[in-house]
Amino acid sequence: MRHSTFFDTVNDRGVEQLLYVFTQLQKQAGAVLPTQHANLGNLVAIDGSLVDSVLSMHWAEYNSSSNKAKLHLGFDLNHGIPRKLLFLTEGKGTERPFVSSIIDPGQTAVLDRGYQSHPLFDKWQKDGCHYVCRIKGNTQKEVHEEFPLPDNAHIFSDARVLLGTPGVNQTQQAVRLVGYIIDDKTFWIATKRFDLTAKQVALVYKLCWDIEKFFGWWKRHLKVYHLFARSKNGLMVQILSGLITYLLLAIYCHEKHGKAVSIARVRQLRNLRFAMRIYNRPQHTAQGLKEASYKRLLKKSHAIF
């Protein structure tokens, strides 16, 4: 197939079918992968990831000198996999409105400072959704109740407070605010999870960085952001294909090896694919040097069998 034909096909391919496959695989992976941090609840880290775009992608506006698209994704922290919903916007698009579409009642959204929004804190609580969100250190705090602090911990504050300026942007309902210091850096974490200890609240926020690790690994090793489509539809097809590939790898690595996804397994699969392609060519027989070449490639992939 000519490259131009392939690119045109990607730009026009329906997203609904791929989204359905992604959703079903996410459910399957969630059912077979081991559950981590079950005592902390159903945790979903939410973040955006920028995709470098070309200037002809006018829908991906970012600044005067470059274009970028932004992927908004929820990440299942209990199973280490991307969640069911994702959105694609221009690079400078806001991230906060997508939280309500990604998490379900009873789940806990784990968020960084960019998601701080006092009206949304109230809305999420009304909707039955929990959150653990880092907030800016200069946020105004009206303390209503202070809780005992744990011994031998970095935690210096645990209280029920109202956040924001009265009459301007103050929360309507009190939230729990945990303050602690790690490596001389101060963290303020707002949450409605009064069932957790202060140490557990700090641990939940620390898990937020798992989504950053996922984005880094996913971009580096699966080459997901190497553009072969310029339309919004085509880029969504490309991203969904990458997420589906990751879910398939997660299921395969667990069922065959009892381990998480790793670059070593990806390389073994690539070696096997290349070896089988050589072996299946009519002009290549399993004789002499060609047989030895095939066996060397297959030996690199022996762990797959």
Question: Could you read off the pLDDT of 271-282 as tens digits, one per residue?
Answer: 666 556 655 555
Per-domain residue ranges of the chain: 3-256, 263-304
pTM for the full model? 0.84
Coil, strand or helix: which one is 303? Answer: helix
10 vs 103, higher pLDDT: 103
Distance CA 83, CA 73 (A): 7
Mean pLDDT of the chain: 84
Give the Cα separation of 291 and 242 in Å (integer).
Answer: 34
pLDDT in tens, 191-208: 999 999 999 999 999 999
Q: Which range (141-150, 166-175, 287-296) has the least confidence? A: 287-296
Query: At the top level of CATH, which class does the domain 3-256 belong to?
Result: alpha beta
Neighbours of 261 (CB within 10 A): 23
Residue-wise over 105-137: b if at least 16 C-beta within 10 A, else e? eebbbbbbeebbbbebbeebbeeebbbbbbbee
Q: Provide the sign of the torsion angle of the four alpha carbons 32, 220, 72, 195, taken in this order.
A: positive
Closest listed residue to residue 79, CA positions, set 123, 46, 31: 31
Cα–Cα distance for residue pair 175/200, rounded to 1 Å: 16
pLDDT higher for 53 or 80?
80
- Average pLDDT on 290-303 reads 54
Distance (Å, rounded) from C-alpha 127 to C-alpha 101? 11
DSSP string, 150-219: PSSSSEEEEEEEEES-TTTT--SS-EEEEEEEETTEEEEEEES-TTS-HHHHHHHHHHTTHHHHHHHHHH
